[in-house]
Amino acid sequence: MEIRHLHYFMAVCEELHFTKAAEKLGISQPTLSQQIRVLEDELGMPLFDRIGKKIVVTEAGALLFTYATAMLNTLQNVKGAIKDLQEVQGGQIRVGIMPSDLDYRITQLVIDFHQKFPRVKLTILASIDIMRQVLENEVDIGIGTNVEPHDRLVIIPLRKEEYVVTVSKEHPWAHREAVTIAELKDLPLVMYPEGFLGREIVEETVKKHGFQLHTILETSSVTSIMNLVRANIGATVQPYPLIQQMNDSDLRIIRLTDAIPSRSLSIIYRVDRYVSHATTAFIEQIKAYLKE
């Protein structure tokens, strides 16, 4: 069995179409079909059932897919480890992070890291589904929120952050230092849409007190949310360190005195991922930058 056969097989599994898989691989469809037959002959079982123009993965194919994924990941880790030895402080790190934290919190972290490791290419990707990104190898590491234990993940806790009410300096509550959770019941809010983790954390807290958030505007962009709050369209409820980082004189922070919503930040990466010297250094810098 050759590595290229596994790559061919995986491409067909992903596309479930020989012609599309061949185009993706840059080879002809007859060549791809012939190579899959070679693999099937070697294993002594069909890997795909051909039903008209459609194909489905057989039980043997599903089994091979599981092991082939692990083998190709291991091969990639070997290549990464050897490349890391060759380049010492070079290479690339892909990092997944929540959009709000990307916009307002990690700029200085990235600057500091680049100054120490100028040969390392950092790719920072905003996402609201960081666990999936990590598990599917779209990023090398993630900075996740409220991450549940997972047998395929290494989870390094960083800090717990409380949520606060944030208003414009023109808002009727601008003079207040603290409010109770019950006082949010009829407060006009600008928030993320339902389904966004930052919204759900707050929503779950107020539901325990018998009401839902009164949102008058919803947007998936924290920048838009804060611009609307500055314009006194409504208040918002966001992590305290995020608002603190903005250091905006047009905003007022109001603490919650009871039933305080909070989020937990963690570094996550796959247990089977090779962690390069540069990635280890970046993880240590994240821990120093964000740990309580």
Domains of the chain: 3-85 (1.10.10.10), 90-158+264-290 (3.40.190.10), 160-262 (3.40.190.290)
Per the model's pLDDT, the better-predicted residue between 281 and 190 turns out to be 190
pLDDT in tens, 100-128: 888 778 888 899 888 888 888 899 998 88
Which single residue is written with the structure tokens 């407060």?
187
Amino acid at 148: E
Sign of the torsion angle spanned by Cα atoms 11, 12, 16, 17: positive
**How far is Cα 157 from Cα 179, in angstroms, rounded to an integer?**
29
Q: What percent of the chain has a predicted confidence (pLDDT) above 70? A: 96
Q: Could you tell me which of 94, 118, 152, 133 has the C-alpha nearest to residue 270? A: 152
Rounded to the nearest integer, the mean pLDDT of the chain is 89
Q: What is the DSSP string of 219-287?
A: -S-HHHHHHHHHTTS-BEEEEHHHHHHH--TTEEEEEE-SS--EEEEEEEEETTS---HHHHHHHHHHH
Question: How far apart are the C-alpha atoms of 196 and 33, rounded to whole Å?
Answer: 43
Report the C-alpha gap between 10 and 64 in whole angstroms. Answer: 9
In this structure, the dihedral spanned by the alpha carbons of residues 49, 55, 60 and 65, taken in order and rounded to 10 degrees, is: 170
Query: Of how many residues is the chain composed?
Result: 292
Q: Which tens digit of pLDDT belongs to each residue from 66-90?
A: 888 888 888 887 777 677 655 555 6
pLDDT of residue 291: 73
Q: Under DSSP, is residue 195 helix (H, G, I), strand (E, B) or coil?
A: coil
pLDDT at position 45 over 80: yes
**Distance in angstroms (rounded) separating the CA atoms of residues 161 and 264:** 6
- Note whether 141 and 97 are within 8 A (CB): no
- Residue 276 CA to residue 129 CA, distance in Å, equals 24
Nearest CA-CA partner of 67 in 112, 15, 5: 5
As a whole number, mean pLDDT of residues 28-50 equals 89
Is residue 244 a contact partner of residue 219, using CB atoms and an 8 Å limit? Answer: no
| Segment 265-285 mean pLDDT | 89
